[in-house]
Every structure is written in structure tokens, then in C-alpha cells.
Amino acid sequence: MSSDDEREEVELDLSSPDVVTKYKNAAEIINKALQLVLSECKPKAKIVDVCEIGDSFIREQTGSMYKNVKKKIERGVAFPTCISVNNIVGHFSPLASDQTVMEEGDILKIDMGCHIDGFIAVAAHTHVLQEGPVTGRAADVIAAANTAAEVALRLVRPGKKNKDVTEALQKVAAAYDCKIVEGVLSHQLKQFVIDGNKVVLSVSNPDTRVDDAEFEENEVYAIDIVTSTGEGKPKLVDEKQTTIYKRAVDKNYHLKMKASRFIFSEISQKFPILPFTARALEEKRGRLGLVECVNHDLLQPYPVLHEKPGDYVAHIKFTVLLMPNGSDRITSHALQELQTTKTIDDPEIKAWLALGTKTKKKGGGKKKKGKKGDNKPDDSTVAEPMDSTTNVGASQE
């Protein structure tokens, strides 16, 4: 075996500075893409147009990086831009012919991902299409997702267990009289793997068992939290709304229909490993082909699920690097001002939010020179529980 092959075998993680740089570059692009997409969200804007703006920006920005390297570096969209409104839980990234528009007062969930050399940064953000502070149950459901995200950031730490995070998320949502939506998993991210084996369940229930796992240093996680004012048990309303798929790498099957073979060969060439939207395929008449691929497990669909009409759903997702010196949340976006109907009084939730996200150094480390931002606590990671007066932007970076 040549030394070259051996080098391929090594799984790269955050102990490599090059890997950290790629994650951070991908995150910077996602944070900008999220900002751009938000600026395009206006009443009567066509959702597909805004999704396309997000995807194009990611392709453009990643395309201009690592251009002149010897070995070609794959880079681009790691999860297509989705904009899911109101009671739609997620994965809404419609085909070009779709006429759905966003309306004043819609609660929009924007979800997207980008990778450089397979190192993935993802983010999801919730925004209400209106001027002024968000009030009432819409504020509650967003605050529930955000506070749960802040708690998760503090509990997804080396040495802690996945099931402890799951229990904490339930508790936070309940404090806002909301539910964590079932079936949403927070996954470990690895090179070219958007759904690693180590997961955090959003809701523990008898149907979904996951292996107990402990978080470890140098791991990366996509923390994914969806909250609802409804029951948190979403349903598939219309299979035709599904447009996002991912190639199941370990499956093979000889497709019968010519259309299926045609579309599957395009997918294998263009999107061999990460999720994609059918909108990005050349073959526009490929719906039947996609269905045959899904039926034989060659593609994993990301269905568009709905809560009941009238329910509000919020989504916050971020990427966190478990660095030796602490957790680094690399994707985020400040929220609108929220005026919730509930306040957090639970001492356990308050204690979680008061945890730092940096690792305390052992022994008498040298005091940092008091130059930069002397007036703030050492790592300014204490999150405020969001009550009716908090301007949420403050608890974000």
C-alpha cells in the first residue's frame, strides 16, 4: 500500500487547522447567504426565486475559493435553500414552476447548508415577515427554539451524553408552552457526511431509539431544533411537495424505467453524496424516475411535513465545533425582537443558560492583557432566557 493510500484512510477532524479553516469558510458563506436570503424575503416574493438566490450565492462564493489548488476540491451547496412558511415544518424548496409566494405576517423558516471539501456548515433561522417586534404565540415558538438552541450549545460538550440534551430540549419547549417537533435529529457532521451516526434525538419516544453516545473533543455537530405551538407530530400532506433527496451510498438496484436510469445517472454524477433539490437536475420530467429511485431506496427523500393549519413552527439550526478550548458556534443570525407571553422561571433552565461554552484552563494560566473588550465577562457566553422584555439579538453574537 503506498503512503498516498494510507493518507486517504486518515479521517480528518478539527485537530487539523486546515479542516477548521474550511469549516469556518463554509460558515462565513452560510451566514452571508442567510443574510442575503432574508433581505429578499418580502410579501409576494416567490419562494422558489428566493431559494434559488440562496443556492446561487453559495455556488458562486464557494466556486471562487480554492480555485488554484493542484488537487480539485469539491465545494458548493451541502443542503439546498428551503423556505418553509407557517405550519410547514421544513424542506420546502419548490420546483421552478411553483407559484407559492410569501405573505405579510408569515413565519418563515430558512434552512441551508454549504461545504468546502466536504466540510459542512448548516444553519436554519426563523423570521416573521413583518415590521416591529414579534408578539404572542409566534414570539413564544421562536423563543422556545432559540432558548433550546442556547441550552443545547451548552450541553453538547465533551463528556456529556446525547440523552441529557434530549431531555433538556423538552423542558425548555414546555416552559414556553410549545412542543419540540418529533423526528428532527441533530447529527454529527463529518467530511462529506451530513447525517453522521452520533445523533441527538429531539424527542425521545418508543418508536425512535438511538444509541447512547457521549460527545467528544474535535467533533462537529449540526444542532437542529424545531418547535411548534401544535402537537409536534407533523404529517406528510402531499408527496409531490418533496423535492430534496440524498443518494443512499450503500444501495444498488437495477432500475427498470429508462427515465429512472437517466435521472439516476445524472444524480450520481452531480450529487453523489450530499442532499440536492430536483430543481437542480437538467431532467425536468424526472418525477416518475425519482419515485422509482425512492421506492428502491436508492434515494432518501426529505419530505415536506406539516403541522395543523394555524400552528406556528419555528426552526433554529447551527453548526458547532467542539474545539479543545471550548465550543465554537460558527453559524448564527440575530433574531427579531420577541415579546413572548411566557417568562422562564425554571432554575434548572436558568442554570443551563448560565453555563459557559469555553473550557476552563487548568492551573494558573497567564492573565490576558486587558485590552480587548475589557468591560465584558471573559467569554460573554451567558445566554439570557428570553422573556417578554429581552431583545433577543443580544444573546447571539
- The pLDDT score that the predictor gives to residue 191 is 96
Look at residue 10 in the predicted model and tell me its pLDDT. Answer: 73
Q: Kindly report, residue by residue over 172-225, the tens digit of the pLDDT.
A: 999 999 999 999 999 999 999 999 999 999 888 777 778 899 999 999 999 999
Radius of gyration, alpha carbons of the chain: 21
Measured CA to CA, the distance from residue 322 to residue 153 in angstroms comes to 10
Average pLDDT, the chain: 89
For residue 383, the model assigns a pLDDT of 64
Contacts of 296 (CB under 8 A, 6+ apart): 251, 253, 255
Q: Which of 194, 165, 152, 141 is nearest to 307 (CA)?
A: 141
Whether the per-residue pLDDT at 382 is higher than 90: the answer is no
pLDDT exceeds 80 at position 155: yes
**pLDDT tens digits for 53-101?**
999 999 999 999 988 888 889 999 999 999 999 999 999 999 999 999 9
Confidence band for 361, pLDDT divided at 50, 70 and 90: low
Cα separation, 323 vs 16, in Å, equals: 11
pLDDT for the residue 269: 93
Q: Could you tell me the pTM of the whole model?
A: 0.89
**Which pLDDT band, with edges at 50, 70 and 90, does 102 fall under?**
very high
Q: What is the mean pLDDT of residues 284-298?
A: 87
pLDDT in tens, 223-252: 999 999 999 999 999 999 999 999 998 888
Backbone angles phi, psi at 320, to 5 degrees: -130, 135
**Angle, vertex CA 385, rays to CA 308 and CA 323, nearest 5:** 100
pLDDT at 393 over 90: no
**360 falls in which pLDDT band (50, 70, 90)?**
low
Question: Cell numbers of 244, please?
Answer: 430534496
**pLDDT exceeds cutoff 90 at 270:** yes
Helix 162-175, helix 347-354: angle, nearest 10: 120
pLDDT digits (tens, 9 = 90+) for 30-66: 999 999 999 999 999 999 999 999 999 999 999 999 8
pLDDT of residue 1: 45
**Lowest-pLDDT choice from 75-79, 116-120, 253-257, 389-393:** 389-393
Categorize the per-residue pLDDT at 362 as very low, low, confident or very high, splitting at 50, 70 and 90: low
pLDDT reported for residue 286: 78
- CA torsion sign for 174, 178, 181, 185 is negative
Residue of 172, 177, 127 whose CA lies nearest to 314: 127
pLDDT at 309 over 50: yes
Query: Crossing angle for the helix pair 47-63 and 17-40, nearest 10 degrees?
Result: 150
Confidence of residue 386 (pLDDT cuts 50, 70, 90): low
CB within 8 Å of 275: residues ≥ 6 apart: 78, 79, 80, 113, 194, 244, 245, 246, 302
Residue 47 and residue 100 in contact, taking contact as beta carbons nearer than 8 Å: yes
> Percent of the chain having pLDDT more than 70?
88
Lowest mean pLDDT among 17-21, 123-127, 180-184, 281-285: 281-285
Per DSSP, helices labelled H in the chain are 3-9, 17-40, 47-63, 136-155, 162-175, 258-270, 287-295, 347-354
Assess contact for 73 and 25: CB atoms under 8 A: no
pLDDT for residue 370 is more than 60: no
pLDDT above 90: residue 376:
no
Kindly tell me the burial class for residue 360, based on how many C-beta atoms sit within 10 Å of its own C-beta (0-12, 13-18, 19 or more): exposed
